[in-house]
Amino acid sequence: MSERGSVGYAFNRTRQAYLATQLSIAATHWSRLRGLMCTEADSFHAGQGLWIVPSRGVHTFAMRFPIDVLYLNEEKTVVHLEQDLKPWRVAPVRMQAASVIELPRNMLYSTGTSLGDEIEIVLGQAREASTQ
């Protein structure tokens, strides 16, 4: 995955599990539009994630692999989940969402992430903790 901005981490406080230990941010118009398009599957693996701010929904046009998508409100509480979103799809728009995190496939399942979970996002430092 190419560098898109500050690198940090996303931690599910409710489940005490890391979602991404190398979280990049897409906060400009072009970085949000590009997202993970044309990224190779082997370069987006467990531990990585892309936080898209602001965003109320995503698409997987020009993507080559499925992803999990986590929708967060302003307080970074989970308001919607999309698991195993296949390439060339449009995920639902959720008006209560302020941002989304794109994660490798099965990350939401493996961490037990659910609606209402509180997510901590810290930019400027990656974590070396393993993703569960």
Q: What is the pLDDT of residues 10-34, one digit of tens each?
A: 999 999 999 999 999 999 888 888 8
Residue 117 domain-assigned? Answer: yes
Domain containing 113: what range?
A: 7-123
Strands 48-52, 17-26: parallel, antiparallel or unpaired by DSSP? parallel
Residue 34 DSSP SS3: helix
- For residue 105, pLDDT over 50 is answered with yes
Residue 128 domain-assigned? Answer: no
Residue 20 domain-assigned? Answer: yes
What φ, ψ does residue 82 adopt, rounded to 5°?
-130, 115
Residue 17 domain-assigned? Answer: yes
CATH of the domain at 104: 2.60.120.1140
Q: Is 61 exposed, middle or buried (0-12, 13-18, 19+ CB in 10 A)?
A: exposed
Residue 131 domain-assigned? Answer: no
Residue 77 domain-assigned? Answer: yes
Number of domains within the chain: 1
Residue 9 pLDDT grade (very low, low, confident, very high; cuts 50, 70, 90): very high
Number of other residues whose CB lies within 10 A of the CB of residue 23: 26
Q: What is the largest CA-CA distance in the chain?
A: 34
Residue 119 domain-assigned? Answer: yes
- For residue 129, pLDDT over 60 is answered with no
Residue 1 domain-assigned? Answer: no
Q: Decide if 23 contacts 123 (C-beta within 8 A).
A: yes
Q: Decide if 16 contacts 113 (C-beta within 8 A).
A: no
Mean of the pLDDT values across residues 74-91?
A: 97
